[in-house]
Structure 1
Amino acid sequence: MDEVAELVGRIWRTEAAGMLGVLSRTLGDFDRAEEALSDALAEAITHWQADGIPDSPAGWLVTTAWRKALDRLRRDAVGREKAARVAAEPPPEPGADDRLATIFACCHPDLAEPARVALTLYAASGLSTAEIAAAFLVPVPTMAQRLSRAKRQLRDRGVEFTVPSTDEYGDRLSAVLAVIYLVFNEGYLSSGQSVHRRELAREGVELARQLATALPREPEVAGLAALVELHHARAAARFDSWGRIVLLEQQDRRLWDREAIGRAVLRLKSAVRLGKPGPYQTRAGIAALHALAASYQDTNWTDVRALYDRLYALDPSPVVLLNRAVATQFAVGPEPALDEVEALGDRLAGYHLWHAARSTLLAALDRPTEALESAQRALDLATNPAERELMSRRVGELGRGR
């Protein structure tokens, strides 16, 4: 029984998006599809234990859920007409387009960002409400309400579980990529302190890979997949045994997953050859330069800086310029880098990493008092526990060095 239950859980995690997508499209209702599929999952544990595992477990689950949904519709006076329409069609089979349709529906621009993230993890990744709540450090009832509201919004706004039409495809794809990148970053930043956060980062990588497989001619999708794979390849070196952040320049590069880095670089090269540059490909290019360098000092900082110039042309954000200034420190020198950072003060004075970068440059220029003040300000503004711990260490080091 335990083995069958484990198998059912595994199938749910890997096939949830496709199964929910095809049922939601067929039934015209995400809640109804989810309810029927939950019943089918419960039945599978008993049925498969007695009769063995079917050749197509996902197909069996969808067909069983389809029949259960039909039974409910027939018992419901309002749903009888729909039951007749649904019953006229053969039982649906989940496919790659159904997985894609689920992801696009969950990332619909009409939903608020927190709802998009939660619903994507729930429907497209198969995470439970409790797992998502733990990953985002919120109570389970709060996450359940968020998911319930998101599903209700999809229903009320008539969002269909289909791949978007050509005229809205671009905007919708941008929203999908943003959600997946956010999922990864939410987990990646603090993954050393929580198993749930590590799972969240892995889910971001898996979602990006699934999307890249489903959309092989979309270079920005491949760019995002390569980007998160390159970052994730450093996971073993990003935190010490106490769960504290280890900065890139201090990481033990022997712990990096070189095979994963090689695969990600090949994915990025294939994307670039399609000739449609974008911000995710450019970010992945920067990550690749870091990943392929023998050491932090040996990084090609001139090329890193040039890629940040290219990224700024695609995504004119002051944060991009802040990261460019870090490259300037090594490509040109700390003094011009500090000038670049200071020029961003009016736009980034409330951003903790602006103060952290300023502190590092001031220390490099032997201005310890100002460096300590900036580090303390970065600590005051930081909210993530892992970053606060890092800045607290930095404040202590600068304080002892005075």
Structure 2
Amino acid sequence: MIAQPQMANELSQLYKNNSGKVLATLVRLIGDFDLAEEAMHEAFLSAVETWSKQGIPENPGSWLISTGRFKAIDIIRRKKRFGELQPALQQFLNEVESHNVSLTQQDIEDDQLRLIFICCHPAIDPNIQIPLTLREVCGLTTEEIASAFLVSPSTMAQRIVRGKNKIRAARIPFAIPAVSELTDRLDAVLYVIYLVFSEGYSASAGDSLVRTDLVNEAIRLARLLLTLLPDSEVMGLLALMLLHESRRKARTDHNGNIVLLEDQDRSLWNQEYIKEGITLIHNSTASRRFGVYTIQAAIAAVHAEALTPEDTDWNQVVSLYSVLMRLDPSPIIELNRAVAVAMRDGPKVGLEILASLADRKELKNYHLFHSSLGELLRRTGQTDQAISAFERAIELAKQAPEQRLLKQKIARIQSE
């Protein structure tokens, strides 16, 4: 028998690692989002009771899917007593009762990608596709998604419900589309995978900088997508994620504090990921049809190839950001380019660019704008203004490691 506190911890980790796959497969089997979610939660509740007595099974994901499937049958039978079932649910019940439901490991592995393609179907409003995917595939809370899209949780909840209803009404098939149809959904699918990775690489809130489960899942999905469609931007996105992930062991110290790029122990960087990422970039650029993900990956590659911070080719970084701005003009890219210019030409030049960006509404409440401003002010000796900028960044930052880093910067200034 496993002690309850230990079981709670292990089940919490299993939920993080498996809930997305379990839900995706249950949606495929059942054909209904709401019922699949209900069945999944009942399966996890059943796991608490069963596993505390019998131990965690060798393949907990399969156990949860199997249990969730039968929980769904119980729920459907309860619903059946009160009226007619929807056709999809009646079909599911018939298949289960005739023992025709398959549950291969390969299907389970592919189900999350199938679910992404459902959520990114052209029939669904583009403004709903990505939030729906983040909620249903990646397990982000409605509150987290609402915060990312700068809307209220109630507004975001309504959007997600509309997306589910559209899938049901349009009878969108739970399948990976034919190659001829992939390109119509590719941009949305790539963006979703990128957002999943971004949330894992630098969690939007909480005590931990990294959510390894989301990082690994994003990389796995990109690899799977690349086998289906060897597109240059799929290569570029996978390269970008691998190059960022290559630095994971060096990004924090043993206390979970952030270690900035220039201070990282580069011997800890994963050279296999760097090598693979650079190869993917070369393959993507050779196609001459590459886009924003490949350019971002190329920027990451410049950092990855520098043996020391001083070896970084900032002129190339600035040039790449200039190309990126032409392809995808955004305040965030302008900010990143300004920081690169400051590293190449000096902090005073960088401050001039930041001054021109200060009134951009997208940056006023963006903590990294204020932290970048604070750093450049510090480097030009404007300590009081630097402290004010860092304090504003602390107010806006939602992640505990970032808040600690900013407080350390302030303390360093005050001790000098």
| Offset, 1:298 | 0.6
Query: For 1:158, which of 151, 167, 172 is the aligned residue?
Result: 167
Q: Which residue of 1 aligns with 2:222?
A: 211
Q: Counterparts of 1:98-113 in structure 2 under 5 Å?
A: 98-106=111-119, 109=126, 111=128
Residues 240 and 66 of structure 1: CA distance in aligned 2, closer, same or farther (over 3 Å): closer
CA distance in structure 1 between the aligned counterparts of 2:307 and 2:205, rounded to whole angstroms:
24
Q: Which one of the candidate residues 177, 197, 222 is aligned to 2:190? A: 177
How many residues of Structure 1 are paired with residues of Structure 2 in the alignment?
A: 373
Identity %: 32
Conserved 8 A contact 1:193-1:244: no
Alignment partners' CA distance in 1, 2:382 and 2:40 = 63
Distance 2:393 2:177 in 1: 42
Please name the residue that 1:390 is paired with: 405
SS in 2 for 1:297: helix
SS in 2 for 1:246: coil
Q: Structure 2 vs 1, CA of residues 189 and 71 (structure 1 numbering), >3 Å: closer, same or farther?
A: closer
Q: CA deviation at 1:399?
A: 2.5
Shift, 1:268, TM fit: 3.0
Aligned to 1:297: 310
- The whole-number CA distance in structure 2 between the counterparts of 1:207 and 1:78 is 39
Instruction: Give distance in 2, aligned partners of 1:81 and 1:180.
Output: 32
CA distance in 1, matches of 2:80, 2:191: 41
Report the residue type matching 1:334 in the other structure: P
Q: Which residue of 2 aligns with 1:313?
A: 326
Q: How does 1:84-163 map to 2 (within 5 A)?
A: 87=94, 91-92=101-102, 95=107, 98-106=111-119, 109=126, 111=128, 115-122=132-139, 152-159=161-168, 160=172, 161-163=174-176
- Residue 37 of structure 1: how far off its partner (Å): 7.5
Could you tell me which residue of structure 2 aligns to residue 335 of structure 1? 348
Q: 5 Å matches for 1:319-398?
A: 319-347=332-360, 348-398=363-413
Unaligned runs of 5+ in 1: 123-128, 139-144
Q: Do residues 19 (structure 1) and 22 (structure 2) align?
A: no
* Counterpart for residue 126 of structure 1: none
Unaligned runs of 5+ in 2: 148-153
1:22-59 per-position Cα deviation (integer Å, ceiling 9, x unaligned)? 324xxx4234456677889979x99xx9xx999xx79x
Looking at structure 2, the residues matched to 148 and 274 of structure 1 have their Cα atoms a distance apart, in angstroms, of: 41
User: What's the TM-score, normalizing by structure 1?
Assistant: 0.72
Paired residues of 1:17 and 1:103 also in contact (CA < 8 A): no
Displacement, 1:67?
11
Q: Relative to 1, partners in 2 of residues 1:151 and 1:375: Cα closer, same or farther, differing over 3 Å?
A: closer
Correspondence for 1:29: 32
Assess if the C-alpha contact under 8 Å between 2:371 and 2:393 holds in 1: yes
What are the superposed Cα offsets for residues 240-280 of structure 1, whole Å, 9 maximum, x if unpaired?
22222111111111222222222222233333333322211
Shift in CA distance, 367/304, structure 1 to aligned 2, threshold 3 Å? same
- The amino acid of 1:116's aligned partner reads T
Matching residue of 1:142: none
Quickly say closer, same or farther: Cα 1:17–1:233, change in 2 above 3 A.
farther
- Residues 61-70 or 165-174, more deviating: 61-70
SS of equivalent to 1:245 = coil
Where does residue 266 of structure 1 map in the other structure? 279
Alpha-carbon distance in structure 1 between the residues aligned to 2:162 and 2:67: 24
Report Cα offsets for 1:130-182 as digits up to 9, x if no partner. xx79999x9xxxxxx99997875444223523446899855643333333333
Aligned partners of 1:395 and 1:71: how far apart in 2?
Answer: 59
Give the 3-state SS of the residue equivalent to 1:383 in structure 2.
coil
Alignment CA distance shift 1:18-1:218 (3 Å): farther
Task: Using the TM superposition, give the Cα deviation of residue 307 of structure 1 relative to its aligned residue in structure 2, in angstroms.
Answer: 0.8
Whole-angstrom CA distance in 2 between matches of 1:97 and 1:318: 36
**Structure 1 residues 284 and 205: alpha-carbon distance in aligned structure 2, compared to 1, 3 A threshold:** farther
Q: Is the Cα contact below 8 Å between 1:66 and 1:91 reproduced in 2?
A: no
Give 1:19's aligned amino acid: T
Asked if structure 1 preserves the Cα contact closer than 8 Å seen for 2:252 and 2:258, the reply is: yes
Conserved in 2, the CA contact under 8 Å of 1:338 and 1:358? Answer: yes
Give 1:362 deviation, angstroms. Answer: 2.8
Provide the TM-score with structure 2 as the length reference.
Answer: 0.70
Q: Distance in 1 between matches of 2:402 and 2:58?
A: 47
Counterpart amino acid of residue 209 in structure 1: R
Cα 1:119–1:81 shift into 2, 3 Å: closer
1:202 to 182, 191, 213: 213
**Residues 17, 332 of structure 1: alpha-carbon distance in 2 compared, 3 angstrom cutoff:** same
**Mapped partners of 1:300, 1:121: distance in 2:** 36
RMSD, aligned α-carbons: 4.6
- Please report how far the alpha carbon of residue 192 of structure 1 lies from its aligned counterpart in structure 2 after TM superposition: 11
| Residue identity in the other structure for 2:223 | A
Relative to structure 1, is the Cα distance of residues 359 and 16 closer, same or farther in structure 2, using a 3 angstrom cutoff?
A: same
Whether the 8 Å contact between 1:219 and 1:276 is mirrored in structure 2 is: yes
Aligned equivalent of 2:248:
235
Distance in 2 (CA, whole Å) between partners of 1:328 and 1:220 is 26
How many Å separate the matches in 2 of 1:180 and 1:93? 25
Q: Distance in 1 between matches of 2:254 and 2:344?
A: 33
